Structure 1
Amino acid sequence: MRSKYAKYENINKEQLQVDIEKIKESIGTVTQEDFNHLLKLERWGRSSTFSGYFIIFIISLLEITSYALGSFSFWTLALLAATLLGVGNVSRWANVAHPILHGAYDRVPNVPKRYTKAGFAKKGSRRYLDWLDWINPEAWIYEHNIMHHYHLGEDTDPDNVENNLQWLIRSKTPMWARYLFVYAFAGTWKLTYYAPNTLKILENKKRRKLKMPQATSYDWSPFKRNGAILWKEYILPYFCVRFVLIPFLFIPLGLEAVFNAFIITLIAEYIANLHSFLVIVPNHSAEDIYRFDTPHKSQGEFYLRQIMGSVNYTTGTNIIDFSHGWLNYQIEHHLFPNLPLSQYQKIQPLMKELCAKHNLEYRQENVFKRMKMSVELMVGKTKLLKVESI
């Protein structure tokens, strides 16, 4: 299938740059309508979260009354609550924090500072009110916005899945155990991967300025400097609020209510990890995705790499896009990272036409199919396509 498309070295990168920048110019300025769209998505996510906690309240209320829930009814409601909490969790990251921290709404006239890159989830109360997660916002901005977006598919891309799992791919671990590891990892990856990795990348930025050796891993020990930062600024704030403070708000309904809230919150965390893993990891990891040995040499080549190194999922309606965290427009996002989410639906047809003009493959497939392909890469059954800079 790939043979019918133009080869990397044969693409007219200068003309590609011209055509993409014409699309960029046609987008226009960010408007209040774009910002209202973000606010709608924010309400959807918040509503999902509050609905989850409301169901926990109902479960706990029924448990202390004469009406006793049966085991099946209890777990049906508990799983519904956990799913709603998980969806709200992913939405807060993907549909709200992600575009805001790219500066997508900075140019909206009179936009509140808390919806700008400079004000969203900053230290203090805004960290807790805007986006409290295992990930420190400052570290994620540098890891994602800079290192990932501007080094896509290179060895210096911190989210290069093939590189990150070389220890597993090259090991003598049985294939069944590799699959088991990947599935287990998917349920914890925000804590076990994103929290320490974003901190490591931020630390290495500081080390480069001081001309110090780069850190290759991060220390989890709370008794060492870096480990203490990880626990104090990343793990403990989220853990204490999500798994201690919020469950204890149910104490008026009894200790059983607190325990129910804690267990359902744990399940919700697992669901949020699986959901985010599903919509994030396959964007740049499969046997038909390219990796690059050297940095890009021109803006046109940079644009080309964003197309050849990314894949979209099913797109269309706000509901479909919300469920994917708007990460189903990954090609458009990597070309225009600071674009409001509402604009991606509008420019997608233009990007498809552009790819057809340049005989470039515009990859777009079901997210579950892409996840299967990503898992095959992660366990070492397949490899990324390799291209050297021309």
Structure 2
Amino acid sequence: MPSQSSLAVPPGTVVTDEQKAAFAADLRKLRAKATKDLSMEDFDHLRKLERWGRICSLLGYGTAWIMPNPISALLISTANVNRWANITHPISHGGYDKIKGIPEKYTSKRFAQGRRRFIDWLDWIIPAGWDQEHNQLHHYNLGEDDDPDLLERNMEWLRSSKLPKWARFAVIAIFACVWKPIYYAQSTLRELRVKNAKSPEEAANVAFSFEARAWSPRHKEGREYWMRCILPYAGIRFVAIPALFLPLGVGAATSVLLTSLLAEVFANLHSFAVIVPNHSGDDLARFEDPIKNKNEYYYRQVVGSVNFRTGSDLNDFLHGWLNYQVEHHLWPAMPLSQYQKLQPQVKALCEKHGIPYIQESVFSRVSQMVGIMTGSRNMIVEKQGLVVNSEAAAV
């Protein structure tokens, strides 16, 4: 799929404060109308996606016992990604909180909280850590040094390494297969620890994700990681669920275990492909200074994000609705169904006000992401609204 970015507004274009203000004013009107239009139809749409995920899960486990196979694994993994991306993600942002009459368990204050984690969203990731790392730090510091998911900075060790290109690709491939427990569980837990620290000194002493004490059961941080992230999920996914099939024989239970392990690899690869490229590429910006006002906030969400192909429930379901990354970053607390309506309008406003808007296939964006991770591509760097790296300015 060719790039759908506006040729009239190439990446790296300087946008004035006046343009940003006019753009923000139009976005506020668009948001007001969308908020007014919220209804139970938006919630019914979410429930439909939830049913799709449950059907995938039932079909996957319903056939996994026969023999280890990739079809059952793919169904299970699709259900896994759906639960995170299409259900937990928008609910945790409060996307359905303003719809009157929805069950309380679908509100951000109730969903996956406390013991409901084991009902609503059992994953490697702690819900409270996800809220702090993703909903707060990532969304409101996009592309800045305070963004915990700033890929170019996080991968500097690989970008500047002396490894040959093939070895860098191998590192990325292996990482993509296990990135949820290796990166996201650790990163979200770390940010939660920093938030809960009782003093600046305690916060500064919190272990970084790849320090030994963050992993080793001999240390407090490592024990917390294993007890809160790894053991609950692994115990249910790879022990309890396969054990349910023991009445059909040890072979059936073993088949479910092996299929579940393959499904976990698929779920990691799937989520990696639709999440990590969202804010990486030589046509997207990162920022050396903090946001100065709401107008700047809106601008940065657009030029620091990329959309994938959009348009239908099935397509969007498979993308985890992360193909509406621009619109989601503009308005995180919005039902998924509204993004489908808002996307063409936001794109038109970007062209109207001279704001670069990037939309390409997920496969093209994975290529861009790999380029950033290996060091063959560099992101646009902005400071005070100007591009400060000459290489990116020529994009």
**Structures share fold, TM-score greater than 0.5:** yes
1:56 and 1:260 in contact (8 A); partners too:
yes
Pick the aligned partner of 2:289 from 290, 294, 303: 294
- Classify 1:42/1:294 alpha carbon distance in 2 versus 1 (closer, same or farther; 3 Å): same
Question: Closer, same or farther in 2 for the Cα pair 1:129/1:3, shift >3 Å?
Answer: closer
Please name the residue that 2:270 is paired with.
Answer: 275
The 1:43–1:207 alpha-carbon spacing in structure 2 relative to 1, beyond 3 Å, is: same
Q: CA offsets per residue over residues 88-141 of structure 1, 9 Å max, x none?
A: 0000000000000000111221221210111111111x1111000000011001
State the partner residue of 2:50. 42
Is the counterpart of residue 93 in structure 1 residue 84 in structure 2? Answer: yes
Aligned residue number for residue 121 of structure 2: 131
Decide whether the 8 Å contact of 1:161 with 1:285 is kept in 2: yes
Q: Deviations over 1:54-97 (max 9, x none)?
A: 1124x1xxxxxxxxxxxxxx56xx11100000000000000000
Query: CA separation in 1, counterparts of 2:11 and 2:302?
Result: 16
**Is residue 2:60 matched to residue 1:52?**
yes
CA contact (8 A) 1:5 1:360 kept: no
1:336 aligns with 2:331: yes
What letter corresponds to residue 91 of structure 1 in structure 2?
N
Greater shift, 163-172 or 238-247, is seen at 163-172
Could you tell me how far 1:352 is from its partner in structure 2? 1.2
Question: Alignment RMSD, CA only?
Answer: 1.5
Q: TM-score, normalised by structure 2?
A: 0.91
Partner of 1:166: 156
- 2:303 maps to which residue? 308
CA distance in 1, matches of 2:15, 2:182: 36
- State the 1:353 CA deviation: 1.2
Written as runs of structure 1 = structure 2, the 5 A alignment for 1:20-169 is: 20-27=27-34, 28-57=36-65, 59=66, 78-124=69-115, 126-169=116-159
Relative to structure 1, the CA distance from residue 117 to residue 209 in structure 2 (aligned partners, 3 Å threshold; closer, same or farther) is: farther
How far apart, in 2, do the equivalents of 1:39 and 1:238 lie? 24
- In the alignment, is the contact (CA less than 8 A) between 1:153 and 1:309 conserved in 2? yes
Query: What is the CA distance between 1:223 and its match in structure 2?
Result: 2.1
Q: Choose between structure 1 and 2 for higher RCO, CA contacts under 8 A separated by at least 6 residues.
A: 2
1:12 corresponds, among 14, 19, 28, to 19
Query: Normalising to structure 1: TM-score of the pair?
Result: 0.92
Distance 2:148 2:50 in 1: 28
Contact 2:96/2:107 (8 A) holds in 1: yes
Asked if the contact 1:207/1:214 (under 8 Å) is kept, the reply is no
| CA displacement at 1:206 relative to structure 2 | 2.4
Please list every run of 5 or more consecutive structure 1 residues that lacks an aligned counterpart in the other structure: 60-73
Structure 2: runs of 5 or more not aligned: 1-6, 386-395
Q: 1:11 to 1:290 in 2, by over 3 A?
A: farther
| Partner Cα separation in structure 1 for residue 135 and residue 79 of structure 2 | 23
Match of 1:189 in 2: 179
Percent same amino acid at aligned positions?
Answer: 46
3-state DSSP class of the match of 2:137?
A: helix
| C-alpha distance 209-117 of structure 1, shift in aligned 2 (>3 A) | farther
Deviation at 1:205, TM superposition (A): 1.6
1:19-74 Cα distance to aligned partner (Å, 9 max, x none):
110111111153111100000000001110111001124x1xxxxxxxxxxxxxx5
User: What is the match of residue 321 of structure 2?
Assistant: 326
- Provide the rounded CA distance (Å) in 2 between the counterparts of 1:260 and 1:184: 24
